[in-house]
Structure 1
């Protein structure tokens, strides 16, 4: 399911008043259009949220034969269907996604922010843009080339305080609903951050709260990363066109570097793009690293636990990674494309 363009999750007994909120959280986590469906006997209904560039209403309209009713707009929609049609709907909407150029989630930045200029006067500027709502969202500010100097769990470990610094100016930001084990950045990383500014009055003193909305490595070339991610996704969804299979076959040195790194840290719980950075690889190497991981998982050289963490098994036998199904398929596709 993790390689599907559109996520469709379903379950019994989920309260229909919260499925939209859950869909929003899943979009935030996975960066993909998502529909959450609650099942009540023979009937089911769900709510969906999308990302910029993917018209959710057009997508579900394409699948109307599976639905009893639907409605919505570009970024949000509601559906009704028979329980027996859920799998058909899941397949249909993903088939539709294969016919268009799927976007990647984009973080819009309204204003570039100088860290030295963050003060309560900026709150007055933000207030002039109110009222905020669906057609007028709160402004997002960009902090660029910032160094992570500290990461502290707060709120019983449910949130993080992330200290960012540039040119001697240090800012405290807060990342809600993120535990330290899921935060892929470490002290010393140079990052770009998308933040929101909100007033915080304590003991009669007004301060600026900086809410960390999104964060990425400063030197990550996103176009190269997204291209490589798309190629790997096409491969894992069984496609044989739309990508150059030879570019996904990992070099022996790359596979060895991935294995040694995961063995050295004990457990890797973060995304593949961050792993590329830790290995000093380029963004376009994402596909090769992802294929190397998949091959080692298939052959038992690596294991993935219930929390998606990667580790080296305590006991393993010597194997030929070229026998991994993903590498055999890539080799066959490369031979076919050569003719």
Structure 2
């Protein structure tokens, strides 16, 4: 699949991987499910088999591609686009049950909803439960069994979120004591008692906070299992390969990796990984930057624009949702909703636009938002609430107009 191939290939009859240096397949970014799909397609054609049943399984290809965070460009974008259409009318009893517990209407499945509502429930049992439950669910043709298994996945996801938060809180406590932004370009966090199934998610959250490549390791006995996440422009696989003498095993790609390590090697690996990061990054590259795709006027935002923008999807890694900037607008009626979410209206003398910024509330003084003019970065979505359909801005950031 899309992971970087190691030095030695298995002694198998055939090893099918577009990442092989000797493979001429043009699209190297397919996830494992998409590789299996293409292989099945080829075998079916060679045997003269009707492929209609295989194409019905494009819903699984879309699900896997989004869940595995492959770039949604080129061939992946095509497979996911058609897969989403299949998923909206899926024949899979298990997927229908999973959509139900996730609160996703079959006709409203998007790549975003797969990433945030559906895939986490499948991943949860692989992280802290029995992965076989997810497989059994996807293979089930019994609605009662499927509902029971979907409920198991839903509960596992709740438990996983609790474990995520506990581990993240402890990781941030460690950072508060040990992290030096002037010296630490690559960060390794390790602790006993952490669950190896959530360290990847926690690594991603820490990267969001400090904008540096991060490795989080769960230690048990004399061994550690860890996950690493990167920032844009930093090849994580290359950096970890450079430190591989300290590792028992490792694998991954440019943006994410997994490692196994002896507990006694952790400090040496921490120093080596930081040095590998320092040799590749500058202080400037450690400053996160948000760049708009287009400046627009608030008056140009309407449901018709959102409709035409939908043709640019499906969106995700490699094909992000367009980011717009409006300048010199007012911010009115700002208040906090849920956990740390900022709700407000963007206004001009001629129009207004509903807006929400997830996780942004603690970054701004609500009283100061209502005074002066602001430059705002946002994405757009079609929002349905209590039978009303309107445009909503998903806030990325705000700054006072200069």
Asked if TM exceeds 0.5, the reply is yes
The residue number in structure 1 matching 2:194 is 14
Equivalences for 1:206-225 in 2 at 5 Å? 206-219=389-402
The residue number in structure 2 matching 1:41 is 221
The residue number in structure 2 matching 1:96 is 276
User: Which has the larger share of strand?
Assistant: 1
The residue number in structure 2 matching 1:268 is none
The residue number in structure 2 matching 1:127 is 310
CA distance in 2, matches of 1:29, 1:213: 15
Offset, 1:128? 0.4
Q: Which of 326, 336, 353 is 1:171 aligned to?
A: 353
Q: Which of 105, 110, 135 is 2:293 aligned to?
A: 110
The residue number in structure 2 matching 1:78 is 258
Q: Is the 8 A contact 2:380 2:391 kept in 1?
A: yes
The residue number in structure 2 matching 1:159 is 341
Q: How far does the alpha carbon of each residue in 1:134-154 deviate from its partner, in whole angstroms, 9 at most, with x for none?
A: 332322222334444453111
Q: Is the 8 A contact 2:355 2:394 kept in 1?
A: yes
Cα gap change, 1:91/1:152 in structure 2, threshold over 3 Å: closer, same or farther? same
The residue number in structure 1 matching 2:375 is 192
Offset, 1:179? 4.0
| SS across alignment from 1:128 | helix
The residue number in structure 1 matching 2:364 is 183
Q: How far does the alpha carbon of each residue in 1:102-134 deviate from its partner, in whole angstroms, 9 at most, with x for none?
A: 213232433323211121112212210122233
Q: Is the 8 A contact 1:150 1:164 kept in 2?
A: no
CA distance in 2, matches of 1:207, 1:129: 20
Q: Which segment drifts farther, 60-69 or 189-198?
A: 189-198
Cα gap change, 1:202/1:101 in structure 2, threshold over 3 Å: closer, same or farther? closer
1:25 partnered with 2:205: yes
| SS across alignment from 2:312 | coil
Cα gap change, 1:145/1:62 in structure 2, threshold over 3 Å: closer, same or farther? farther
Moved over 6 A (4+): none
Q: How far does the alpha carbon of each residue in 1:69-115 deviate from its partner, in whole angstroms, 9 at most, with x for none?
A: 22222222222211222222221111122223421323243332321
Q: Which of 136, 141, 149 is 2:319 aligned to?
A: 136
CA distance in 1, matches of 2:257, 2:372: 38
Q: How far does the alpha carbon of each residue in 1:1-51 deviate from its partner, in whole angstroms, 9 at most, with x for none?
A: 141112222222333332222222222222222222222221112222222
Cα gap change, 1:162/1:51 in structure 2, threshold over 3 Å: closer, same or farther? farther
CA distance in 1, matches of 2:247, 2:189: 16
Cα gap change, 1:158/1:131 in structure 2, threshold over 3 Å: closer, same or farther? same
User: Which has the larger share of helix?
Assistant: 2
Q: Is the 8 A contact 1:23 1:34 kept in 2?
A: yes
TM-score by length of 2: 0.49
Cα gap change, 1:70/1:201 in structure 2, threshold over 3 Å: closer, same or farther? same
Q: Is the 8 A contact 1:52 1:106 kept in 2?
A: no
Q: Which segment drifts farther, 87-96 or 158-167?
A: 158-167
Cα gap change, 1:2/1:209 in structure 2, threshold over 3 Å: closer, same or farther? farther
CA distance in 2, matches of 1:189, 1:77: 45
Q: Which segment drifts farther, 57-66 or 99-108?
A: 99-108
CA-based RMSD of the aligned residues comes to 2.5
Structure 2: stretches of 5+ with no match in the other structure: 1-178
Cα gap change, 1:177/1:81 in structure 2, threshold over 3 Å: closer, same or farther? same
1:58 partnered with 2:241: no
